[in-house]
A and B are shown apart, each in its own frame.
Chain A
Amino acid sequence: MDFSLNQEQEMFRGYVRKYLDGAGQTKTARAYIEGENESLRTLLSGLAELGCSSINISEDHGGMGLGPLDLIPVLEETGRSLLPGLFLETNALAVPLIEKFGTEVQKDRYLAEIAAGRKTFSLAWLEPGGSYGPSDINLEAKSLNGQLILSGVKSMVPDAGLADHYIVLVRTGKGKRNDGITLLIVDRNETNITMESQKNIDETRHLAALSFHDVEIPMGQVLGSMHQGWDALQEGLLSFNAALSAVIVGCMEKVVEMAAEYAKIREQFGQPIGRFQAIKHRIVDMKMDLETARSLAYYANWALESGAEDRVQAVSCARIFATKAFVRISSDNIQVHGGIGFTEEIDCHLFVKRARFYENYLGSTEQYYKQAATALGW
C-alpha cells in the first residue's frame, strides 16, 4: 500500500512551484485579463523548458513517455497560479487523442511541437444554443473531391485566439446520433474562419465563437475514424477529466491556504478571527473538501494509468467532486475574508470565477453523474 506521489514527482512539483512563485503566481493571469499576453507566452515557454509539456508524450515524438500521474504536479501547480492558456487542453486532451487515434503523419506533425511547447490545441465542441450532447453537433462537413467542406458555427471555444490548432467536432453522417460525428484537426490560420470573442465571468480564460464558411480541410486531418469521433472523444475526456480534477486540486489548495493565512492575521475583537470556531470550522470544512478532492483525483489518474476496471467511475466521481467542491470552497473563501474578499483587489474572486468556468466545462455535471451511475452498473 502506497497512496502518494513518488519522490521524483514531488521533486518536480518543487521546481514548477518555484518557477511559478517566481513569476508572481496569479500575476500572469491578471496581466492576461488586461490583454497583455506576453508574460503568459514567456511563462509557458519557461514551463516547456522545465519539461512540463513533454511529460506524457511518447519518447518517439520527443517526449518523456510518462503517464497521467507524472502530469499531476504540473497540473496542480498551474491551478494554484490560475494559469491562463491551454496547457490542460493541449496536454491532457489533444495529446492522448493524437497518441491513441492519430496517424503517423499527425503524430509527427504535432506531438514534437507540443512537447517543445511550441504548439497548443483547443477544442471546438459547443454550438450556439446547443448542449454538449451529440444531437447538438450540427456543424456540417461535406465530402468533396477528397476534402471536407466545413460550414457552421462553434461557440465558446476556449482561448481560441491562443490556440494553434482546434480539434473540431463535425457532423459527417446523417441524423442526430453520435455515430455520425467526426473529429478534425483544423489550423487556426485556416482561411474562411472568422472569430468573435465572447465575454465570460472568468476573464483569465477567453472564449470565442468560430464561424466556418466553406472551410476546406484535407481528409488527412481526420483524427481517428470517420463518423467515430464521439467514442474517441469519450476516451480523450477520461484523460482530460482526470487531469482537470488535478488542476482543481491545485486551485483548491491555494484557496484553503488563503483562507487559513487570512484567518491568522486578521484581528477583530482583539484576536485573530481564526480563533472563532465559526471561522475555524468553516476553513476545516474547506480543507476536508480539498483532501477528498485530492484523493479522488490521484486515484482517478492512477486508475487511468494502470487501466483499472473502475476507471470510468473513478474519473467521473473525481470530476464531479472536484468541480462542485471548488465552487463551494472558493465561495466560502470570500466569506472568510469578509469585505476585502468582495473586492477586485484580492484574488478570492478569481478562484470563484475559475470554479464556475470549470463546473460544466466539456460536459455538464449532470452528464457526469449519469456517466458514473452507468459505469457503476446501476
Chain B
Amino acid sequence: MDFSFTTKEEKFRLELRAWLEENLPEGWLEGTSNVSKDEGEYAVFLRNWQRKLYEGGWAAIAWPKKYGGREATLMEEIVYQQEMVRVKAPALVNYVGIHMVGPTLMQIGTDEQKSKYIQKIITGEEVWCQGYSEPNAGSDLSAIQTSAVKDGDRWIINGQKVWTSFGHLADRCFLLARTNRFDKKHKGITVFLLDMNQPGVETRPIIQMDGQHDFNEVYLNDAIAYDAEIVGEVDEGWKVTIALLMHERTGIGAQVFTLEQQFKELVALAKELKEDDMPLMDNPLVRHTMVDLYTRTRGSLLNYYRNLTKTLKNGHPGAEGSMDKLMVSELTKELLSQSISLQGHKGVLWKEDAISSNSYWQDNYLYSFGQTIGGGTSEIQKNTIGERILGLPKDMGR
C-alpha cells in the first residue's frame, strides 16, 4: 500500500504548477481577474485559454507526442487534474474534442479524418460537441430517432438533439443518427462528424436553473454529412460510442478532487460564520454533520484511489467508475446543500448580494442538481453497479 506520488510525478506537478503561475489569466490565483460575463466574450476567453494550454503543451497531455500530446501516464493525468482543480483553472472548451473525439479518431478514424481533425482539436481551432441525447432518448440512448438517409455520397439528417454541452460554440458535432431500423435498437446507429456551420443546423440555448448556459438544443433540418464523415462502419455506431467511453481513463477524478476542495472551503465557512457570536463550528450539531461529511468525502476519495489502483493494474477502467460517479455526485449535492443551510436565511441571497458576494456556494449548489443527472443518472449508475458488479439480473425491458 502506497499513497505517494513518484519523484517523476512530483516533478511533473511542479512543472505544471510553474507553468500555471506564469500563464493563468491576470489575477486568476488572487481571485481578482475580471472575466467578462458576456457570452461572446467569454467564448473568446475560453478559446484563448485552450490555445495557451496547447502552446504550453498542456492541452491534451495523454495524447501521443506526434499529435502534440506528451504521452502522460495515468498518474500524471491524475496530478494534472489535481492541479487544475487546485487553481480552479478555466474550463476546457474543447473537452469533448480532446477527451473523446480525438482519441477515438486516433483509434478508428480514417487517415483522412486524422489529418483533417486531430490537429484542430488540440489547438482549439475547432471546438467539438457531442450529439447524443434526444428529447425521447436520455438514459435510454439506444432510443434515438434522429435519422440519416443516404443520398449519393451524402446523408440527409433530420431530428433533434438536446443537452448538447458547448453546442453554441461548437464547430463540429460527434453525432449519433439512426441509419437503419433493426429489431435490436443498438444496431443501425451510425456516428457522423457533422459540420455545425451549415444552414440545416440550428442551436437554441437551454438556460439552467443556476442561470448559466452550457447546454443547447440542436435542431437538424436536412443537415448534410458526407460518407467521409462517418466514423467506423455504417450501422455500427454503437461500438464506436462504447470505444469512446473507454478513453475516459481517469473517470471522475476532477470531480473527486473538487469535492475534496469544496469540503475544505465548507470547513472555512463554518468557522467564519457565527450565530449569536459563536462560530458555527463550535456548535456540536454542526461538528457532527461536518465529521459525517468529512468521513464520506475521504471515503469517496479513497474509493477512487482504490479503483484507480485497479485501472493501473488492469490497464483499463472497469465498471467501478459507476460507483465513483454515483457517490461523488450525490455527495457533492449534499455538501453544497449543507453550505446553503449553514448560511441561515442569508443562504437564499444570490449573485452580488450573496455572503461571498460572488455567490460561489449558491451557484455551485444550483449547478450540483445536474451532476446526478448528466453523464448517466444516479439510477442508471445503480443499474450498472447492480448488474455488472453484483451480477443482478437485467432490468425489465432490456
Contact = CB atoms under 8 A, between A and B. Distances in A.
Interface of A: 1-6, 69, 256, 260, 263-264, 271-272, 274-275, 277, 280-281, 283-285, 287-288, 291-296, 298-299, 302, 313-314, 317, 320-321, 369-370, 372-373, 376, 378
B395 interface: yes
Interface of B: 1-5, 75, 78, 267, 271, 281, 287-288, 290-291, 294-296, 298-300, 302-303, 305-306, 308-310, 312-313, 323, 326-327, 379, 382-383, 385-387, 389-396
A59 B223 CA distance: 77
Interface core residue of B267, B300, B306, B392 (most chain A CB under 10 Å): B392
Contacts of B382: 277, 280-281, 284-285
Interface core residue of A4, A283, A285 (most chain B CB under 10 Å): A4
A274 B383 CA distance: 11
A321 B267 contact: no
Contacts of A4: 1, 306, 309-310, 313
B83 to A, nearest CB: 16
Given A284-B390, A295-B303, A299-B298, 19 more contacts: A2-B2, A4-B310, A6-B1, A263-B392, A272-B393, A274-B386, A281-B379, A287-B323, A292-B299, A294-B306, A296-B295, A298-B302, A320-B295, A321-B295, A373-B287, A373-B290, A378-B271, A378-B281, A378-B290
Interface core residue of B4, B302, B312, B394 (most chain A CB under 10 Å): B302
Given A264-B392, A275-B394, A287-B390, A320 B291 contact: yes
B242 to A, nearest CB: 22
Contacts of A293: 299
A2 B310 CA distance: 9
21 contacts: A1-B75, A1-B309, A2-B2, A6-B1, A256-B390, A263-B392, A281-B386, A283-B386, A283-B390, A284-B326, A285-B382, A287-B389, A287-B390, A288-B326, A291-B323, A295-B299, A296-B302, A298-B1, A313-B294, A372-B291, A373-B291
A1 B271 CA distance: 33
A283 B392 CA distance: 10
Nearest to A320: B295
Given A2-B1, A260-B391, A295 B386 contact: no
Contacts of A372: 291, 294-295
A283 B299 CA distance: 19
Contacts of A280: 382-383, 386-387, 392, 395
A264 B2 CA distance: 37
Interface core residue of B309, B389, B390 (most chain A CB under 10 Å): B390
Contacts of A260: 390-392
A298 B306 CA distance: 10
A1 B2 contact: yes
Contacts of A321: 295-296, 299
Nearest to B381: A284
B323 A288 contact: yes
A309 to B, nearest CB: 12
A201 B326 CA distance: 35
A60 to B, nearest CB: 26
B48 to A, nearest CB: 34
A287 B302 contact: no
Nearest to B74: A1
A369 B298 contact: no
A284 B395 CA distance: 14
Contact of B1 (A5, A271, A287, A320): A5
A283 B147 CA distance: 39
B291 A264 contact: no
Contacts of B390: 256, 260, 283-284, 287
B166 to A, nearest CB: 32
Contacts of A277: 379, 382-383, 395
Nearest to A292: B299
Contact of B392 (A2, A69, A274, A313): A274
B158 to A, nearest CB: 34
A370 B288 CA distance: 8
A284 B299 contact: no
Contacts of A5: 1
A293 B391 CA distance: 21
A5 B390 CA distance: 21
Counting from the closest, the 10 A-B pairs by CB-CB distance are A295-B302, A292-B299, A274-B392, A280-B386, A317-B295, A3-B305, A275-B393, A284-B382, A281-B382, A260-B390
Contacts of A274: 386, 392-393
A317 B394 contact: no
A3 B307 CA distance: 8
A292 B382 CA distance: 16
Contacts of A298: 1, 302, 306
A275 to B, nearest CB: 4
Nearest to B312: A1
Contacts of A378: 267, 271, 281, 287, 290
A146 to B, nearest CB: 46
B5 A296 contact: no
A134 to B, nearest CB: 20
Contacts of B291: 317, 320, 369, 372-373, 376
Contacts of A302: 1, 3
Contact of A376 (B75, B294, B326, B385): B294
A76 B299 CA distance: 18
A318 B277 CA distance: 33
B299 A3 contact: no
B395 to A, nearest CB: 7
A1 B295 contact: no
Contact of B300 (A272, A292, A299): A292
A264 B391 contact: yes
Contacts of B393: 264, 271-272, 274-275
A275 B287 contact: no
A320 B310 CA distance: 26
Contact of B309 (A2, A69, A283): A2
B295 A3 contact: no
Nearest to B6: A1
Contact of B288 (A256, A314, A369): A369
Contacts of A272: 392-393
A373 B288 CA distance: 8
